[in-house]
Amino acid sequence: MQSWQLPEHIADILPSTARELESVREQLLGLFRVHGYELVHPPLMEYSHSLLTRIDTGLSLKTIRVVDQLSGRQLGIRADITPQVARIDAHLLSANNGINRLCYAGSVLHARPDGFLNTREPLQVGAELYGFADVAADVELIDLMLKSVAVAEFGDILLSLGHIGVFRALAKAADLSEQQAEQLLSLMQDKDANEVRAQVEEWKLDGMWAKAFSLLPTLYGSREVVAEARTKLPDLFAVGQALDELQAVCDAFPQQNIHIDLSELRVDNYHTGLLYAAYGSSCHDAIARGGRYDGLGVYFGRARPATGFSFDLRMFIGRLPHSPRMPMIAVDHKDVAAAHEVIEQLRAEGHCVVVDYGMDYNGNKNTTRRLVEQDGKWNIIDV
């Protein structure tokens, strides 16, 4: 194997692309900032139990572990930044009992890629809101998510909605064991209505619950699904509350193309309620995903209502406006000492000044402007 080869699903980002990504990262963090979200920088590595690998099987399988040579304890390289931000809210920002709006942008590392075309090193960008349980907070985050994906060209955007609360309310009412609920949830995620029906028949569930679980994979489509679900699903308070939240989101975005799927339950174990995702007509997968995860902070000593979204900024590659290279001013290396003060002043003003050693630099064969001495003064001339 060549010594320069990288592991599978790991790739370098070269100058022109890196310039575009950094530009959009700054733009997105600026967008978050004007909506009141403060930037945090969690560490790349923590003790593995702090990354919640013990409570989320999917997250645990993604997490790469190493032994800490200082303490001898097991470390984990983060596969998801959301649990880290929940820890920050619950522990480091515990003095604030009100709302914390936090955002982040950093690399995560996966032991395996999520899909054949996915990287193992996503650049995860996201925003989280802690301390407010009402659906209005979810509406705020969905609005911010849609504004975020709009900075790149993904075609027509579809807002996809689901609600894990419907399934969990039915599972509780049907008195399913934790193992049965996990098994049925897995079948739901595979969209296999026949398997769902066969499984609930095998368990000999009460007819009402068997019918409800069999219905879930069929309850998908446009906004009218909410009304349809009200007439077909059992009249449980938690189910009605979940449908009310879905309706509230639909009402908040009257012009947005919306798809609702009550069996769209592709979630991390820590999600507890409303689920949302943004899809583009030119993409094979979701651009951004989010949802409510109330109580996650209990693992760090403070249970808080929470909602948020994230996405891999690398998905934006090739879909961003071209970010041109900063125009350069060249100065002959023999003149650097004499022109030192002028060069530093130009750089302080934001100009790019490069030293010309008589060969190409960064792929540039020609620079159209040069710093030269004329009549005892340093001038920038076009060449």
Q: Which of 166, 341, 145 is nearest to 256 (CA)?
A: 145
pLDDT of residue 252: 97
pLDDT value of position 243: 97
Question: Cα 243–176–231 angle (5° rounding)?
Answer: 30
What pLDDT, on a 0 to 100 scale, did the predictor assign at position 58?
80
30: Cβ–Cβ under 8 A, 6 or more apart, which residues?
Answer: none
Residue 269 has pLDDT above 80, yes or no: no
List alpha helices for 88-218, DSSP H.
Answer: 135-149, 164-173, 178-189, 193-202, 207-215
Q: Is the pLDDT of residue 365 over 80?
A: no
Residue 78 to residues 83, 84, 213, 299, 320, Cα–Cα distance (Å): 9, 9, 35, 17, 27
How, if at all, do strands 220-221 and 258-261 pair? Answer: antiparallel
Q: Known binder of ligand: residue 33?
A: no
Whether pTM > 0.95 for this model: the answer is: no
Based on the number of CB atoms within 10 Å of its own CB, is 205 exposed (0-12), middle (13-18) or buried (19 or more)? buried
* CA–CA gap between residue 121 and residue 337 (Å, rounded): 43
Specify the range with the lowest mean pLDDT, choosing from 125-134, 185-194, 248-257, 334-343: 185-194
pLDDT per position as a tens digit, 280-291:
998 888 999 999
pLDDT of residue 265: 66
Residues 99, 141 contacting (CB under 8 angstroms)? no
82 is in an annotated binding site: yes
For the record, the structure tokens of 135 come out as 């659906």
Mean pLDDT estimate for the chain: 91
Please report the pLDDT score of residue 172 as a whole number.
93
121 pLDDT more than 90: yes
| pLDDT at position 67 over 80 | yes
User: What six digits make up the tokens of 171?
Assistant: 């599972």
Q: Is the predicted pLDDT of residue 51 greater than 90, yes or no?
A: no
Q: How confident is the model at residue 324 (pLDDT cuts 50, 70, 90)?
A: confident
Average pLDDT value for residue range 248-277: 88
Map residue 92 onto helix, strand or coil. Answer: helix
The pLDDT, as a whole number, for residue 1 is: 60
Say whether 124 counts as a known binding-site residue: yes
Which run of H or of E encompasses 238? helix 237-252
Cross-strand partners of 161: 260, 276
Distance CA(324)–CA(19), nearest Å, equals 8
| Torsion angle of the four alpha carbons 209, 183, 245, 227, in this order, in degrees rounded to the nearest 10 | -40
65 is in an annotated binding site: no
> If you average pLDDT over residues 223-251, what whole number do you get?
96
Q: How far apart are CA 245 and CA 243, in angstroms?
A: 5
Q: How confident is the model at residue 91 (pLDDT cuts 50, 70, 90)?
A: confident
Whole-number pLDDT of residue 35: 97
CATH domain 15-316 topology: BirA Bifunctional Protein; domain 2 (3.30.930)
Q: Report the alpha-carbon distance of residue 138 to residue 312 in Å, rounded.
A: 20
Quick one: pLDDT at residue 296? 87
Q: Is the pLDDT of residue 367 over 70?
A: yes
- Given this model, what pLDDT does residue 220 score? 92
* Domain boundaries for CATH 3.30.930.10 within the chain: 15-316
Most confident of 52-61, 215-224, 316-325: 215-224
Distance CA 364, CA 352 (A): 14
Q: Which pLDDT band, with edges at 50, 70 and 90, does 194 fall under? A: confident
Three-class secondary structure of residue 291 per DSSP:
strand
Mean pLDDT value across residues 8-36: 92
**pLDDT on residue 115:** 80
